[in-house]
């Protein structure tokens, strides 16, 4: 059962850092360690980059990873991986790509208010899908970062996606129409998101 207000209390931007990535490097070897080194380098080299560059390099970096249907990962249906689990495995499901991009951009200094993990319906696939959206300003049309499309495009150009709800460390929104979402409370009500945060907190303490 989610703890009310957890997402608001936990500062999401502190959950992925150069320090936490370096700690993972000490525990890994081979190709996994190389992925952590590349991830750390990505964050360090783009701390002072423009927002546009941060979005592009993050999208390109993670879209190199493999799509892995993780419905049965760790014995849980539709398991949401932490970014560290995603990097260790070398890939994941659509929500895992979005979560990894979200926390990486936060680590680069992008404001949490500008980012939302967005649950959509993919019309071509006729199934649920998840992307990361970036809002230049709260009322602006968002840009879509998608593991199935290499290009970062405005939401209005993604006619193939129907938004359902979105969330970040600050809140949860239901999609009413493109660009006009209705706030419906705290994202801690999402059990799988709550689990991701708890595992990230625990991992950083080890």
The pLDDT score that the predictor gives to residue 38 is 98
Domain that holds residue 29: 6-205
Q: Which of 31-45, 73-87, 89-103 has the lowest mean pLDDT?
A: 73-87
The pLDDT score that the predictor gives to residue 179 is 53
The pLDDT score that the predictor gives to residue 87 is 98
Mean pLDDT of the chain: 89
What proportion of the chain, given as a percentage, has pLDDT over 90?
Answer: 72
In a domain, 1, yes or no: no
The pLDDT score that the predictor gives to residue 78 is 79
The helix or strand, by DSSP H or E, that contains position 1, with its residue range, turns out to be none
In a domain, 70, yes or no: yes
Q: Give the confidence band of 69 by pLDDT, cuts at 50, 70, 90.
A: confident
Question: Do the beta carbons of residue 12 and residue 169 sit within 8 Å?
Answer: yes
pTM metric for this prediction: 0.89
The helix or strand, by DSSP H or E, that contains position 161, with its residue range, turns out to be strand 161-167
Q: Give the confidence band of 183 by pLDDT, cuts at 50, 70, 90.
A: confident
Question: Do the beta carbons of residue 115 and residue 168 sit within 8 Å?
Answer: yes
Domains in the chain, number: 1
Condensed to tens digits (0 to 9), the pLDDT of residues 11-42 reads: 787 789 999 999 999 999 999 999 999 999 99
Which parts of the chain fold into alpha helices (H)? 6-9, 18-27, 30-45, 51-62, 83-89, 94-107, 191-205
> CA-to-CA distance for 115 and 143, rounded, in angstroms?
10
Domain containing 137 — which CATH number?
A: 3.10.620.30
The pLDDT score that the predictor gives to residue 188 is 73
Please say if the pLDDT value at position 122 is more than 60.
yes
In a domain, 61, yes or no: yes
């Amino acid at each position: 059962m989610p703890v009310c207000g957890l997402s608001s209390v936990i500062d999401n931007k502190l959950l992925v850092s150069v320090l936490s990535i370096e700690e993972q490097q000490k525990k890994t070897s081979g190709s996994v360690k190389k992925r952590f080194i590349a991830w750390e380098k990505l964050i360090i080299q783009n701390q002072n980059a423009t927002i546009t560059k941060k979005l592009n390099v993050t999208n390109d970096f993670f879209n190199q990873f493999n799509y892995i249907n993780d419905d049965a990962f760790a014995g849980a249906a539709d398991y949401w991986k932490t970014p560290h689990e995603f990097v260790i495995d070398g890939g994941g499901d659509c929500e895992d790509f979005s979560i990894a991009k979200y926390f990486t951009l936060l680590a680069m200094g992008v404001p949490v208010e500008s980012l939302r993990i967005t649950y959509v319906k993919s019309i071509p696939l006729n199934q649920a899908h998840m992307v990361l959206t970036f809002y230049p300003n709260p009322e602006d049309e968002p840009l879509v970062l998608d593991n199935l499309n290499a290009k970062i495009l405005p939401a209005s150009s993604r006619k193939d996606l129907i938004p359902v709800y979105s969330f970040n460390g600050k809140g949860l929104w239901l999609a009413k129409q493109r660009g006009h979402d209705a706030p419906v409370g705290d994202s801690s009500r999402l059990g799988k998101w709550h689990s991701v945060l708890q595992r990230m907190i625990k991992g950083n303490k080890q």
